[in-house]
Amino acid sequence: MNIRTVSTQPFPDQKPGTSGLRKKVPTFQQPHYLENFVQSIFDSIAAPQGATLVLGGDGRYYNRVAIQIILKMAAANGFGQVLVGRGGILSTPAASCVIRKYRTFGGIILSASHNPGGPDGDFGIKYNSGNGGPATETVTEEIYAKSKGIASYRILDAADVPVDQLAETKLGNMKVKIIDPVSDYSELMESLFDFPAISTLLKSGFKIKFDAMHAVNGPYAKEILERRLGAPAGSVMNGVPLEDFGGGHPDPNLTYAHDLVEIMYGGEAPDFGAASDGDGDRNMILGKRFFVTPSDSLALLAANATLARGYKQGLAGVARSMPTSAAVDRVAKALDIPCYETPTGWKFFGNLMDAGKVTLCGEESFGTGSNHVREKDGLWAVLFWLNILAVRKQSVESIVREHWEKYGRNFYSRYDYEGLPTEAANGVMQHLRENFSLLTHKQFGSYAVEMCDDFSYIDPVDGSLSKGQGLRILFSDGSRIIFRLSGTGTEGATLRMYLEAFEADVSRHHLDAQEALKELIRIALDISELQARTGRDQPTVIT
């Protein structure tokens, strides 16, 4: 066994974001770039000799190359076994499932989530801890610190490991086990949901369309929806994972999942539609000519949780990210359970779930999940909705409208301004901060500002403080405008503007969200000077 110690120099840009390190593929293809970051992970996590690691990704370009490098480095760094998804495939929630089921030391997930792929697209890598969730900020800061001082990395000289067949092989002293990427996850889903009831629904003429967007969830959806539950062949569209996602942008929203949207708003629309993203952790839910916002979806799942097998005992609590609408807060109040408002980032939910404080959680960015894993989970959300539909025997739209009638409607929208010059995006944020005192108690049309702040969070589990999590302008009637710089992009800056207004009047619940929020949108653009400062008249995406 020939282990080489390779001299290297640090790269200055290896600071992990909210979901690991994401860069353009050519950046990762630089000599030593990936190796430096992987060695920094191994030097930070202090895995014992012989530990087991999980490894897989969303199948995007460079996934297979990276897997071979990581395997050889794991062997050189003393790991005893690595579980690899066949073909290098493991959805992010499935990787969390495998880590937890087999109690491995942790796992490395190769994905840039909903970002485009291909030779000129994005690539990403992140470390998940033994609980199955993203590494804590303490760990990611240590990884970054190691990356800034790295002088060498260790790698085994060996031939590549075959990853396309279920088998066990040796790589030096380390065992590499190629596992079925779908089976463990499918079994977990079957334990949570009433598969016989869903199967009866799908065989009754109830039509569904699931858009896997040529991303990782294609094999999972085909196995569960078509094979196990009996949905007709073709219910899963774009179901073959491709390295460039078929040239598309694997982000399940009304803009990028346009093929599905056209089907669901067409003359022969199915009863239920859904999509998931690059690594399978996000979801979009649609009824026949009806869109369910992620915030409403979280609230609906909480309100109907006991209809699903795995949640019949009720919920310990719920949590949402700060930019997510307060719709779930109203459900939590009615159920008399705690509701936590956290910064954006699934690791904050992981702490709450590990402590038994919450069962369901979600983000407005099309991510929902529960304590079954420690990641958001796109296909889980789809199955939860199908379970509810099978029990209630109503349409998606009627279930949502009944929910609004009971709890009121939180009109909600998000404006994404992608690829902005970083200086311009920072200028908008700085302008808002400097004007907090002038905005407080000011009247804007029918809206009165109650307070402004830069959201901070003290974790109730470990006491850690997270600052600078987004600028909030809170109005006296409960409406909100929020500005936040996203940490998931790889080029320029993404500035997100969130708008929310509560409406109790059922006679107004039919309004389009953009129409209902028209005045609030105008106020947000005026006080932020966003258009003048960025030169953008329109957002890249509206959801």
| Separation between Cα atoms, residue 492 and residue 233, nearest integer Å | 41
Segment 458-480, tens digit of pLDDT: 999 989 888 889 999 999 999 99
Going by pLDDT thresholds of 50, 70 and 90, the confidence category of residue 487 is low
- Residue 19 pLDDT: 80
Spatial separation of the C-alpha atoms in residues 534 and 13, rounded to whole Å? 25
Distance between CA atoms of 306 and 322, rounded to whole angstroms? 25
pTM confidence score? 0.93
**Dist. CA 80–CA 71, nearest whole Å:** 11
Has residue 280 got a pLDDT over 90? yes
Q: What pLDDT, on the 0 to 100 scale, is given for residue 464?
A: 86
Separation CA 387–CA 385 (nearest Å): 5
Q: Is 301 in contact with 368 (CB distance < 8 Å)? A: yes
Share of the chain above pLDDT 70, in %: 99
Domains of the chain: 2-181 (3.40.120.10), 185-407 (3.40.120.10), 409-542 (3.30.310.50)
**Residue of 113, 365, 370, 413 with catalytic role:** 113
Tell me: pLDDT of 491 over 80: no
Give me the pLDDT at residue 488, please: 54
Burial label for 212, CB within 10 Å (0-12, 13-18, 19+), is buried
Rounded Cα–Cα distance for residues 92 and 113 (Å): 9
What would the pLDDT profile of 176-222 be if each residue is shown by its tens digit? 999 999 999 999 999 999 999 999 999 999 999 999 999 999 999 99
Q: Where are the beta strands (DSSP E) in 15-121?
A: 21-24, 52-57, 81-89, 106-110
pLDDT for residue 490 is more than 90: no
422-434 and 518-528 helices cross at what angle (nearest 10)? 100
Q: What is the dihedral of CA 471, 115, 93, 202, to 10 degrees?
A: 110
Handedness of CA 266, 268, 274, 279 (dihedral sign): negative
Is-catalytic flag, 186? Answer: no
Residue 364: which H helix or E strand, with range?
none
Count of C-beta atoms within a 10 Å radius of residue 477:
13
Residue 101 in this model has a pLDDT that exceeds 70: yes
Neighbours of 252 (CB within 10 A): 27
Residue-level pLDDT at 541:
86
DSSP codes, 230-261: -PPTTSEES-S--TTGGGS----STTTTHHHH
- pLDDT band at residue 404, thresholds of 50, 70 and 90? very high
Q: What is the pLDDT of residue 64?
A: 98
Burial class (CB in 10 A: 0-12, 13-18, 19+), 164: exposed
* Structure-token pair, residue 434: 């400097």
DSSP state of 133: S
Q: How many CB atoms lie within 10 A of CB 157?
A: 11
Find the mean pLDDT for residues 55-60: 97
Indicate if the pLDDT at residue 1 is higher than 80: no
In terms of C-beta density within 10 A (0-12 exposed, 13-18 middle, 19 or more buried), how is residue 69 classed?
A: middle
